[in-house]
Structure 1
Amino acid sequence: MKLKKKYRLLLLSAIISVPLLLLAISVFMSIIYEVVFKTKNKGIPFHESFAYPTMLVVFCLSLLLLALLFSKSINALLNKINILNTTIRDLASDEKIPSTLEVTNNDEIGELIRSVNVLIERTTYRELEMKQQAEIQKELLNKLRHDINTPLTAIKLQLFYLEGQYTLSAPILDSLYQQIQYIADLTNEFNIQNTDTLESSYILNDEVNLNDLVETMLKKWSYLYSIHDIELIYQPVNKGLIWTSSELWIQRIFDNIFQNTLKHAKATKLEVSIENNVVILSDNGIGFDVNRKHEGLGLKIIEDITRILNINYTVQSNENGTIYRIQKPGK
């Protein structure tokens, strides 16, 4: 029920209930007085007896109870507004992104809560995407700096050796040392413009909890999937699955699968499960011919990453949907 209609009915009920309540209490009290107390009070009329002020007290108490009932509805609305206000302020701050709110009514406040939830999901997606890209860039940049500084250190040692073996002029050596230091300084200010190449990058392996990683990916993609009316289902049968691999590049595998399903599958559901040490992602889309060469880069990136990370990867697809299976050998 819409708020406008709801509070119109509330106002109408207040207008009707007050005179009806007064009439009902007066009739009820007068009947009780006539039946029980009038003969004992020597026939004193109702409006002159003790029953009349008693009726007024009961009527005031009833009005107070009625006001409390009506204010409860208003307080519920104010509480929802306060929750929305707090959530939006938390979302605008630099602290942790708030959780989505529960929608209990289909009125204007319910629609506003849905809009705030969409904003939260979109912000969560952007934050996770930016964090992932920043971590990838940081990893690659650190390895690139290391690779540049290592030969520069070797060159310095060779110059020191040549300085002791041969008679070299100090200006030449100073110039060479300055050029080496200049290159080292440049590496500290170097910004990677393209992090899409994996073959030339270094992979830092660590223990990766697949359940935590999948939950992060679902949280990241829930916004885009929700606005395209695609249902995300997660069934973590094996929550303790640990791989020794690169979390960043495994995320890239999932990112490309989620993106392929979103853009090309025309699916209404994507189900993710972890069972028997295998991560399975299946959709109910239109499928594709896995043997045909595709122009998109998504499947190629998945194949390249799984090959370099030594991860078993298979895909099955037909008109009923597509199933991706990802497994770490030996797990």
Structure 2
Amino acid sequence: MAQGFKIGFIQKLTISTKLAISYLLIGIVTLLTVSSILYYIFKKTIIDKTTNQLIAVNVIKKKSIEDFLLGTIRDIRDDEFQLNAYPLNSLGSLHILDKNFSMNSNDSIYDSSMLSVYEDIVFMDAAGTVIKHATPLITFSDSALKDLHHKFRLNHASTGNEIFFYDITNQYGVDHPQLLCVFKLKHASIWGIYIINHSYINDIIEIRSGMGSTGESYLVGKDLYMRSKSRFFEDTIPNKIQVNTSATQHFFSGKTLQEGAIIHDYRNIPVISVQSKIDIPGIDWVLISEIDVDEAMSTVDTIKNYMIGVAVLISLVLMVVTLLLVRQIVDPIANLTRLIDTISLGKFNQSFQKQNFSEDEIGKFEDAILNLQHRIAETASFADEIGKGNLSAEYETMSDEDTLGNALLKMRVDLIESKANEKLLTKQKTSALIEGQEKERERLARELHDGLGQMLTAIRLRIGMLQDEHKSKKEIQQIIDDTIKELRRISNNVVPAVLIDFGLAAGIKSLVEYSMKLYHIPIVLSYDSFGFETKPKNDFDINVSLYRIAQEAINNSIKYSNTSEIRISLVEKIDSIQMEISDNGIGFDLKNKVDGKGIGNMNERAKLIDGNFSIQSNKTGTTILITVPLNF
């Protein structure tokens, strides 16, 4: 029954689920095996590396302590010659016993830089009587020194000169580790006790470079009490801390403990431990260097955690990869179905992401559909640009047989031609309108001059022939003269006859002279002509437009710029006419300018004759430049 349920359950699973489970099981088993092997390899490597590091630290500190103690022996031997040279009854006159402790070449032990190495130096005779203390601070009582002297004589009964060390920790009421360096000479008639300042040894031990946050080195005596400070119990006197561990038990029992062994230290915490003996005769100390296993193995534990995380991650990746493989088959087909449905609704610019990146049949089919959608979207975008009036939009047909693309390109060509024709027609209409206005102005000016002007002249002559009062006749004649002048001014403004009869240069010159008389502002005109053999086709339009532009520019300059001088330059070249009008007025801001009819009219007139109109203005004045091409 149970077996049938299992078979039925498995049959109900999808292929993607089955693949995911199988890949996951294989991955987990493989990862657990590899991770376990790597963990133990890393653990052994870390222990070996830590052990080597502890050995290096232990060797350096052991050497430093031994060098310090051997240096003490050397310092004492430096003074041995001086002591041997003096008779016993003159020992008190030795320079090394001066209370000022002055230096000379023979008493290096009393060098001021060396004196702090010792807490006291005591000289005794053969009977154990104190001859001299080197410092006023008495470290030991005379009875304690006499007892020490007795022990020295029992253990060193020979009469020869001798230097040896003696550990009196936890004896004679000393509240800290204490080491003595003793020498006897002159057939044991002089004994010197050098009471070593133990802080020097502590300073060596307390150097913790390369020891991490839990590593420490410490000295232990044969009584299993510390001879140096504890890193973890700094306020406790070292010789009150008992170190009854596997390291000390094996060492002092003559057994060998494997280097890098993991033991429990005096705090009952697992540590990696390394030991070595201080090789100085008379000193039975062991130097132990240790570091907590937790700190040493922190890297391995971190790696273990990473391995677990990586194993879980890889398992998840395997599952995801399996699902992706299935989706690579199903998703592209579903995506293409949605794409085709969207295209059928006329939505050509919808974004679709490629689902299958392989080169199998589904991948190639997806590429073909996506390429078709992309090309249709380009065609639709081009048609949209054409509809918006952007006739410069770029487009390339899919092939020579692209009916839709070729039709759009032909439509663009037709629209461009239609737009050009429309522009030309508009220009012609506008030009004809302006030309009609100018012709009407010309007719009106001629009628004013030939008709009304002649009539006013005849009236003036007839009045002159009257025999009435001379004063009244003069007043009437003056009124008629003023009327004739105003009539001429209006006629000239409507269309100057000199422009029609003698051309652009004469017309501009007449405008300049008339404006100077009217506004009393100097206007400088310069004219340079190439000399045409034939007139341009649009000579009338050009002359009238440039004249009107000059007229408008002069009026604007006088009205708004507060100018004191206007300059007009007219240059007729072989293929163009260039006119520049400038003033030295206050100018205006082109960015913030409000276009009035003046500038707009000038620009429009320039366009009608295919000219280029530009204007520049700043605080020093305004310059207008018009360049008109000539067609012969």
Identify the TM-score tier after normalising by the shorter chain.
0.3 to 0.5
Higher normalized contact order (CA 8 Å, seq sep 6+, divided by chain length) = 1
**TM-score, scaled to structure 2:** 0.20
**TM-score, scaled to structure 1:** 0.37
Larger radius of gyration: 2
User: Which has the larger helix fraction?
Assistant: 1
